[in-house]
Structure 1
Amino acid sequence: MLPDDPDAHPPESDDERTESGAALSLTEEEFERLVVDELDALPDEMVEGLDNVIFVTEARPEDGSLDLLGLYEGVALTDRGQYGFGELPDRIILYREPLIAHAGGELDELREQIHITLVHEIAHFYGIDDEELHRLGWG
């Protein structure tokens, strides 16, 4: 269960710490709820154009690292030719353990990192590359 108090004390037991050493431990369902909440909080104009995109969460990237927070898999809107019925959906993946580790185990920081990662990956859907995202302060 998510702590109601964002200033709640970290767990006292090492058993409650994540592999990364972060004091915050969330189940898949709790993490997904945070992602949905942050997705719902995004501006309508950002999400209205998301056609045939699914959002998924996974524990870690395939390589097992904690370096990658999210990933967009698909063809950017700006690179699409004919796109229509029967296309598999693009995917935006958020990685739970790297995001928790990057947030330093703080719930408010985790929410912020989820928000930033969602914006970053949605931008890739719209064809904005990493260089432009860095220029805009979202990289």
Structure 2
Amino acid sequence: MAAQEPCDSVPDARVIERMAQAALAQIPAPFADHLANVVLRVEELADAETLAAVGLTHPMQLSGVYHGRPIGEKSAWDVASYPDQIRLYRKPILAEWRETGVDLQRLVTHVVVHEVGHHFGLSDADMHALEDSAGEGG
């Protein structure tokens, strides 16, 4: 998908979802093998319950969230539940895109990879340390 500039028309949820699917498609094996049942959703803003669960108060503070149990905590004995989900929040992503001028695909990819990290049980601190050690911190 071609890079978009902040002056282009405002991308809708379908555009963000296509970008997120493209980001997921770039996740290498063996990690990708564990993502087949994860549902990807794009919503406008996080609801109050989700914000409270992650310790935030304003919906523009959250660009994505992982809902589910990290795969390292799952067991064959678990009772079936809702599928794990990665939710992206369009308005905060677009606000960050406008503020920073970062390529939108790169920004969406960053959020998706971050939430995939939570699926694998990584904390925010773990992910920031990995990004910093790879020279991508920010």
Q: What's the TM-score, normalizing by structure 1?
A: 0.73
Q: Give the Cα–Cα distance (whole angstroms) in 1 for the partners of residues 125 and 80 of structure 2.
A: 32
Which residue identity lines up with residue 37 of structure 2 in the other structure?
Answer: N
Alignment of 1:1-139 (within 5 A): 6=4, 10=7, 24-63=9-48, 65-83=59-77, 86-104=80-98, 109-137=103-131
Change (3 A) 1:106 1:35: farther
Change (3 A) 1:35 1:44: same
Q: List runs of 5+ in structure 2 lacking aligned partners.
A: 49-57, 132-136
Change (3 A) 1:81 1:44: closer
Change (3 A) 1:108 1:34: farther
What displacement does 1:62 show? 1.0
Root mean square deviation, CA, Å:
2.8
Alignment length (residue pairs): 124
Which residue identity lines up with residue 10 of structure 1 in the other structure?
Answer: C
- 2:3 and 2:105 in contact (8 A); partners too: no
What displacement does 1:126 show? 0.7
Which structure has more helix as a fraction of its residues?
2
Structure 1 or 2, whichever has the larger Rg, is 1
Q: List runs of 5+ in structure 1 lacking aligned partners.
A: 12-23
Q: What's the TM-score, normalizing by structure 2?
A: 0.73
Q: Give the Cα–Cα distance (whole angstroms) in 1 for the partners of residues 42 and 106 of structure 2.
A: 16
Which residue identity lines up with residue 128 of structure 1 in the other structure?
Answer: L
Q: Give the Cα–Cα distance (whole angstroms) in 1 for the partners of residues 14 and 37 of structure 2.
A: 23
Change (3 A) 1:113 1:85: same
